[in-house]
Amino acid sequence: MPARRKARKRALDVLFEADLRDRPPVEVLAGYLDRIEKPRPAHVDYAIDLVEGVAANLNRIDELIASYAEGWTLDRMPVVDRNLARIAVYELLYVDEIDDPVAITEAVELARQMSTDDSPRFLNGLLGRVAEYATR
């Protein structure tokens, strides 16, 4: 598995736990980092960047997801989908070195592995609309 995909998966684990436990993502991240062996694997730094970036911009990210998720509220989305969308929207808006199609494809692929049968199509449409907004 490529390093950035591992990082996205780790970030998803942290954001998923924070969401379920209603805890701040950076607090859950600190507990996660305490459990990682030293030296840290290379992908962990990008996972940290993703969690901290999503946490710092959560209100704006959730606002965009809610605006472009046709017929869905954040609360109705599966927790995995909501947090994959958060990671991808963060990458679309704030990570210049990740191309938009890559951010979308990675979210869709993780949804294929970890969520419902409808999730990849849902995320692809949602993230495509957000990417279109972001390039205006």
Tell me the per-residue pLDDT of 7-52, one tens digit each, with 9 for 90 and over: 999 999 999 999 999 999 999 999 999 888 788 888 899 999 999 9
Domains in the chain, start-ordered, CATH in brackets?
3-134 (1.10.940.10)
Question: What is the pTM for the complete model shown?
Answer: 0.95
Q: Which long-range contacts (CB under 8 A, 24 or more apart) does 75-78 make?
A: 78/115, 78/116, 78/119
Q: What is the DSSP string of 60-111?
A: HHHHHHHHHSTT--GGGS-HHHHHHHHHHHHHHHH-TTS-HHHHHHHHHHHH
Would you say residue 135 has pLDDT above 90?
A: no
Q: Give first-to-last CA distance, the chain, whole Å.
A: 33
